[in-house]
Amino acid sequence: MNTKVGKTLLRHWLLPGIVGAFLAAVPAEAAVLQSWRFQAAGNQLSFVAAGGVQPQAQLIADPVRLVIDLPGTTLGNIRQSQRVGGAIREIRVGQVDSRTARIVVELANGYTIDPSQVRFRGLSAESWTVELPSPQRIEDVGRGRTVPNQNSGDIAAASTVLQDIQVGDTGIVLQTSGSPPQIDVKQAGDRSWMSVDLTGVTISPSLGRRNRAVNSFGVDRLQVMQISSSPPVTRVTLNMGNRAQDWETQVSSNGGVLLWPKGSTPPTLAAQGGPATIESVQLRNNGTELVVRADKPLTFTSGWDRQTAAYGITIYSARLSEDVELPRGGSGSPVLWVRQRQDKPNSVTLLLQPGAGVEILGVNQPSAQQLSLQVRPGSVAVTPPLPSNPDYPPTYPVANPPRPVSEPDYPRLPNQRVVIVVDPGHGGSDAGAIGIGGLREKDLNLEVSLQVAQILEQNGIQVVLTRRDDRDVELEPRTVMANRVNADLFVSIHANAIDMSRPDVNGIETYYYESGRALAEYIHRSILESFDVNDRGVRRARFYVLRHTNMPAVLVEMGFVTGRDDARMLADPAQRQRMAQAIARGIMRYAQAGR
C-alpha cells in the first residue's frame, strides 16, 4: 500500500451524510440506534433508529474507513460488528461519546472508495440506507485511473462556484460566481450546529481551507463539503459555541450568501455605497403580487410578524422615498393593507396583511433591485374533519332544533375604516374543551372564525386573525396584536363546556368587560335570530382578552360541546356556517349603528 498517496487522497474527503430524498431530517431529541445490517452483494448499509437522526460522514485513512456519526444518538441492544471480507473488511458500531453513535465501514489494506459516489438515502427521519461504490485500489486512484476529477468536471457543469469565504466584522460571506444559489438551512435540535446547503454550487479548487476556526459571533469552526456532484450541492456547516444565538441567511444580489447574527447588520451592507432608496411599492395582478423597486441592490429577510400577524419584508440598508404611496387593498382584494414600520434607522419593514384563506407564496428577487411577494387567493381554510365516530352525531332528539333561515341580509356599512380582530380561541397544544363525540373546541373556534373573517371581508371590513391555523398563541400576544393594529373591535370566539355528566346544560353566552356591552348584545341577538337555543344571557366577565384590549371587546360562547343539543348543532358543518353568518351579521349591525 502506498500510504503517502492514500493520505493525500483522503485527507480532504469530508462527507456530510445527507444526500438523497430526506434532506430535512434533523434530530429534535435523543435517538436510539435500534438495528443495522450490511448487504455485501449490493454494498448497501442500512440502519434504523428510534427518533430522527442526521448522519454525518467522512472518509479517513490509516486504516481507510468510512466513518458515519449519528449526533444525538445512543446505541440500543444491537450487535457491535460484522466481518465482511474482500475489499470491505468489517463493519463496526460503537458509542463515541454520550451523545454520538458511530458506524465504521473499514476497508481492506490497499483499497479506497470514491467519496462522491457514496449515497445516503433517508427513507424517513429514522430509517436510512447508505449505498457504497465498489472499492478501488489506492495505487490505481493515485494514477488517476478510477476517480474522476471532481473539481474540473463538476465546475464546468455547475452554474455556480463557491469562490471564497470571508469572515468579516458583522458576519460571514460565502462568495459565489454564476447564478444565485438555492439555499436550504437546517439546525440541530440541540442547536450545536447549523448547515447551509447550496444547491447548484461546486467548490472552487482555489477555495483554500475547507475546515477552519472562526471564533467569532458564537461560531467555533466552519466546514465546507461537496455532498453531491449530480446535482452539485455544497454544504457549509457552522459549529456553534453559542447555542442561544439566532442567525439570518440571505442570498445576496451581489453574488454569494450572507450569514449574520440575528439583530445585527448584514455583512455586505457597507459595500453597497450607502442605503438603497425604495422608489415604488405596488400591488399588481389583481392584488396577488406586491412589487418593490429600488435604485440599488436589495438585501432582505421575510417572514410572519408576531406583533401584527402580518407578513413582513425587512429590507436592510434602505429607506423609503417620500414620494412612495403604499398600496391599499380594496374590498375583495387578497391583500387588506400594506404598511411601513421603521424598526431601525437603516432598515425598512413592509407589512402585508392577507385576507382570510389567502396563502403567502414567498418572496423572490427577479433582479438585484426588485422584490416580488406573491399571494394566492383561496377559499376559507377548513380545519381537519371533526370526529367521524359512526355513533356520532347521536340519534336522540334535539329539544330545540334550529329553524331554517334564508341567506342573511347583511346591513350596509359606513364608509369609514373598520378593522376587526377575530380571535379563534385556544389552538395548538391547547385544545380547549373536549365534548360529546370528541368535539374539540379549538377546531370549532378556528373554522367559525375563518368563516366570520371571510364574510366580513367580503362586506368591506378589514379583518386581522390572531391565528390562521392550529398553533399555540398565548393570551397576551392576542391582545397586543389587537392594540398594535389599532383595531376598532375585538371578537373572541369560543365554545363552552361543563362536566360530561350534564348533557342537559346547553345555550349561548356572550361576555364583555367594559365598552363591549353593546357589541355583545348585537352579536347575541343575531345568534338567537338564527338558532332556537337556550339564551344564557349577555354577561360581564374579567377574561384576560377583554380586560387588556383598548377597543370594544367580546367573547362569544357558541354553545356547550358537552351539551346534548349544542353538541349536535356544533357537529354539523351547515350549522357552524350559520353560526358564522350570525356572528358576522351582529358585528356589522353594530358597525352600521356607529357605536
Q: Is 557 a catalytic residue?
A: yes
Pairing of strands 160-167, 201-203: parallel
Question: DSSP string covering 289-345, please?
Answer: EEEEEESS--EEEEEE-TTTSSEEEEEESEEE-TT----B--TT-SEEEEEEE-SST
Helix and strand numbers (H, E) in the chain are 9, 38
- Out of 441, 457, 509, 557, which one is annotated catalytic? 557
Q: How far apart are CA 313 and CA 539, in angstroms?
A: 42
List Cβ neighbours of 24 (8 Å cut-off, separation of 6 or more): 186
Which residues of 113-157 form beta strands (DSSP E)? 119-122, 127-131, 136-137
Cβ neighbourhood burial of 246 (10 Å; 0-12, 13-18, 19+): exposed
Which residues of 158-231 form beta strands (DSSP E)? 160-167, 172-178, 182-187, 193-199, 201-203, 211-216, 219-229
- Helix, coil or strand: residue 465: strand
Q: What is the dihedral sign for C-alpha 53, 58, 60, 66? A: positive
What are the residue ranges of helices labelled H in 368-472?
A: 441-458
Q: How many angstroms from the chain centroid is the CA of residue 89?
A: 44
Q: How many angstroms from the chain centroid is the CA of residue 454?
A: 24
Nine-digit cell at 23? 434532506
- Helix, coil or strand: residue 4: helix
Q: How far apart are CA 81 and CA 68, in angstroms?
A: 14
| Cα distances (angstroms) measured from residue 215 to each of 162, 174, 338 | 22, 17, 41
Q: How far apart are CA 279 and CA 292, in angstroms?
A: 8
Report the catalytic residues. Answer: 557
